[in-house]
Amino acid sequence: MSREQAISRAETYFDDGLFFDDLARRVAIHTESQEPSQTPELYRYLTDEMTPYLEDMGFSCEILPNPVANGGPFLVGERIEGEGLPTVFTYGHGDVVRGYDEQWDEGLSPWEIVKKGDRWYGRGTADNKGQHTINLAAMKAVLAERGHLGFNVKLILETGEERGSPGLREFCDVHKDRLKSDLLIASDGPRLSPERPTIFMGSRGVFNFSMTLTLRDGAHHSGNWGGLLANPGIILAHAISSIVSSSGEVLVNGLRSPEAMSNSVRAAITDLVVDGGNDAPEINPEWGEPGMTAGEKVFGCNTLEVLAYKTGNPSAPVNAIPAHAEAACHIRYVPPTDSKLFIPALRKHLDDKGFSAIK
């Protein structure tokens, strides 16, 4: 009985516009973690917005500094109902990517929610202010109905996710005992398709690295030196092509998953339809690991991407052999891959192929 009433409370919360109000207040805070000047907004989100809301639900809250220099603050919340009860750990991030105010369509703004058709526009509505607002409101509805949850809750709200979560790992390590919990339930990331609510039981790891090649100081005129000076842009391109094929298949053993996919994993993901909805890009079926389904490729396989590549000055090329080339790359990986082995494997591969000068 109280279950239905809690659900109906949650529906009323949405239908009466109270969810909109809570979310709009949060979206209005300019928590752009990639902009150092917005650091006060990160604090404001945690202290002025989230702390009172959480304290009202019976959480004790503390804002703690990031163990890493220049990292944003953390809010740790605890709501302990009783010793011996299971403890649910939940997570959210209060920061958003840059607003890019001038790039929004007429009538839209990153800092104000605007309803247009079935959609709500505003920075953070779908990542991650919307999600943690929903999860906390769900708990609030249960509390309003039952007066208790039946479990303890520990919460981390971080403010640097959109910068790669600097200090999150170190923070969790330092506060390991305090954060100890039985189960993590959190919402961030996409659905399989917009129409299909999705529960992920895990996600691929991510390992970022860059490759750089500097051969000399400064660029040199190609009329005088072309044919004599090695070109770092060309060499780095060849190095990349030895690591990943022209159809996206990872070619270096130490970067691939060391084990074939288990039958249970295969059975769970083989038939998953990956569909990002109307705005999604068209999938390239020939791309990636040969012989795998789309679900297997994106959920059960190691993949390597070049995220950015630069040599010379692409926005203003000159007739010269550049001195330097660099590529920002990353690997998404599945268990039992050990990411600590990536750099040694990559180093050995580059050395074996004659690319020792690449760092």
CB-CB neighbours of 110 under 10 Å = 22
In the bound state with Zn ion, the residue whose beta carbon lies nearer, of 188 and 275, is 188
In the bound state with Zn ion, the residue whose beta carbon lies nearer, of 188 and 305, is 188
Closest distance between Zn ion and the C-beta of residue 204, in Å?
Answer: 15
Q: Which residues contact 104 (CB under 8 A, 6 or more apart)?
A: 110, 121
Cβ proximity of 358 and 239 under 8 Å: yes
Closest distance between Zn ion and the C-beta of residue 157, in Å?
Answer: 12
Q: Within the chain, what is the greatest distance between any pair of CA atoms?
A: 84
In the bound state with Zn ion, the residue whose beta carbon lies nearer, of 96 and 323, is 96
Closest distance between Zn ion and the C-beta of residue 271, in Å?
Answer: 27
In the bound state with Zn ion, the residue whose beta carbon lies nearer, of 51 and 159, is 159
Closest distance between Zn ion and the C-beta of residue 26, in Å?
Answer: 14
CA distance 59 to 225: 68
Say whether 47 sits in a helix, a strand or coil.
Answer: helix
* Structure tokens belonging to residue 31: 């928590």
In the bound state with Zn ion, the residue whose beta carbon lies nearer, of 93 and 349, is 93
Task: Catalytic residue, from 161, 162, 289, 326: name it.
Answer: 161
Length of the chain (residues) = 359
Task: Catalytic residue, from 32, 95, 145, 296: name it.
Answer: 95
Closest CA to 325 of 244, 219, 212: 212
What stretch of H or E contains 331?
A: strand 324-333
CA distance 93 to 127: 8
Closest distance between Zn ion and the C-beta of residue 187, in Å?
Answer: 9
What stretch of H or E contains 343?
A: helix 342-352
In the bound state with Zn ion, the residue whose beta carbon lies nearer, of 165 and 302, is 165
For the four alpha carbons of 107, 102, 133 and 46, in that order, the dihedral sign comes to negative
Q: Which residues bind Zn ion (CB under 5 A)?
A: 127-128, 188
Place of tokens 């072309």: 226
Closest distance between Zn ion and the C-beta of residue 57, in Å?
Answer: 22
Closest distance between Zn ion and the C-beta of residue 358, in Å?
Answer: 32
The answer to whether residue 161 is catalytic is yes
User: For the stretch 281-307, what's the b/e string if a residue is b when 16 or more beta carbons lie within 10 angstroms of its beta carbon?
Assistant: eeeeeeebbeebbbbbbbbbbbbbeee
Cβ proximity of 73 and 64 under 8 Å: yes
Cβ proximity of 270 and 295 under 8 Å: yes
Please, where are the H alpha helices in 190-262?
A: 222-225, 232-243
In the bound state with Zn ion, the residue whose beta carbon lies nearer, of 111 and 309, is 111
The answer to whether residue 95 is catalytic is yes
As separate numbers, helices (DSSP H) first and strands (DSSP E) second, the chain gives 12, 12
Active site residues: 95, 161
